[in-house]
Structure 1
Amino acid sequence: MILVTGGAGFIGGNFVLDWIAETGEPVLNLDALTYAGNLETLASLADDERHVFKRGDICDRELVDGLLQTYRPRAIVHFAAESHVDRSIHGPGEFIRTNVQGTFTLLEAARAYWNGLPPDARAGFRFLHVSTDEVYGSLEPQAPAFTERHPFEPNSPYSASKAASDHLVRAWYHTYGLPVLTTNCSNNYGPFHFPEKLIPLMIVNALAGRPLPVYGDGLNVRDWLYVKDHCSAIRRVLAQGRLGETYNVGGWNEKRNIDIVHTVCALLDEMRPDPAGSYARLITFVQDRPGHDRRYAIDASKIENELGWRPAETFETGIRKTIAWYLENPGWVEHVQSGAYRNWIDTNYASRQNGGTA
């Protein structure tokens, strides 16, 4: 069995589904079920004994200690994190608590558990920390992509809290010998993505005939990684990664935000035409957010050269699969759009409606 933290979130939920489908190994899933945690994502595992769900906070040391002693996992895959930049701007405290204090608590619990394992189990134990490319800061347009040796230059409360957690994981390896691995991924997209992030927000708003809010001039660049490719990369790093090492995981897909939005609109025009006209008519430029990094780009050569991993999806194939999934699963979308979600979208974007339409 492995322990997965944050396994009811977007990436964590996809990983749990992927792990059980690909390996058959049981998963102990610890998730606090905050706003983005959604057990409906895992509905297909509701009667599957290989999925053991526990609701709880990674900051609760007594809880984590008890789970480790009861279930005796051979590895921990740590997804649990507050992850939305805009939310971190509005309320940074929760990001420090979950991403920094929570990771510290988990590391200390893992260290105590690992120290008590028999020699064979101790040698095989792994702690894999899932992080983000945002810890590296912002790139100039022509600058080389981020490698694992790029200095940390976080620019938001979210990325600063994740950078802190990355440093803690590194320190627990060098100081205590805890067998850790770290992955830093680019922007994920795909099924079960909570509709506050760019791609699902564009899909959901377009289908509802609502404005498609684009920050600033829309020329911010991100590398895009299909979530199922990310899951396969984590499985590869967990199985073959060198202890103490960091692996960047990217999709080799640098795209401008405005181009992403136009791609979503064009595919929706094809797959679900709107009698009122092209969905691109809904594009609305809004005030940029503070500290908005201009460009991220991942150099994923290390994981390819050392572990033989490359993404299976291009952006063109992945985005088509993603839009098809949202069109086929309106019930999931409807259920996550609670009053709290609508209030968040209103709070975040109401003050920004001073731009124009595309």
Structure 2
Amino acid sequence: MIYELLEKYEADFFVMYADSRDPNFFYATKFRTPDPSFYMIGKDGTELLIVSEMELRRAEKESRVKEIASFIDLGYFEKLNETKNSKKALAMVFTEALKEHRARKILIPNEFPSFLSFYLKDHFEIEVVENPYSDMRAVKSPEEIRYIKEACSAVIDAFEYFLKLLKSERNVNTLRNRVETFLFERGFYAEGTIVSPDLESSNPHSIGSGVIKNHVVFDVFPKSRVTGYFADFTRTVIIEENQDIIEMLNACIEAKNRAIDKIREGVAAKDIHNLVCDILESYGYQTIRNKAKEGFIHSTGHGVGLEVHEKPKISENDEKLKSGMVITIEPGLYYRSKGGVRVEDCVVVRKSGCEVLTKYEDFVRLVG
């Protein structure tokens, strides 16, 4: 895809300057570093990663990029002494590296640092593009799917732990802290876990506060501390009988399961989304496609991988699902006078169907 992009724009190189918190940089280099590094890939076959001296040996060992250089190798300190400006010295290093490979036109992603882009534009023709690695990440390799499965297994364990806690504990902050600690001890970061009770659950991304009385939306999306891959999972737990909430939840469960039944390679994202809207509207609920302010007011799902929200978006768009994509299906209904419900699973798209990674009963009622 990178070479096709370079050909399309008649460019010589695509470049990034980032650290491994940027999922596109990590995906391209497979190198974890807290400090920004420069990555360049060219139509001539050049692929070069420039890192700080302290990271050089580790990069040579861990990165998938074969050609590694350090800032010192490329004369950073001489340029710093000359300019007395660290950012300008870096820009000079990267400019010389590109000129050495006869670059005339380069592509930079939207998130590229402005200080570098302003300097580089004085030496090259520059065009800003959407980062191509975002699209490349949408289809997962078997190894990536295995990583996501591991995270999905952890969220099921965390939800069962949550249900055990819920029998004797109803304070939202206590429950969230206990669940996030549970996950951390098992090798996963979780923060902002949604434990949203009662009327507060009418705000889809409210993390929740206070004490649970009637029902609670539990949405957990941990990241592996080893692999960096996420999972995403939501269930609504009924505690006290409330017919409105039960009817809303049953409608969402039907919408989720029928959407999952429709998933396979080649199906358009909008067809999945519109099916969910059709089902919810058939029960009298409002949906986003009718510009509703309450009801189903978000997309049907999204990709999951190195980010908890990534491509593809399962909404009103023409993108076709591909085998190997990992997506969520998460219909929800939200009314200020009643509260909210949501049910969500992660699935892997296959050629003739899909595989659910977060298998758990859909209707959950607290017992005992």
Q: Tell me the TM-score normalized by structure 2.
A: 0.23
Higher relative contact order (CA 8 A, sep 6+): 1
Q: Highest Rg: 1 or 2?
A: 2
Say which structure is richer in strand: 2
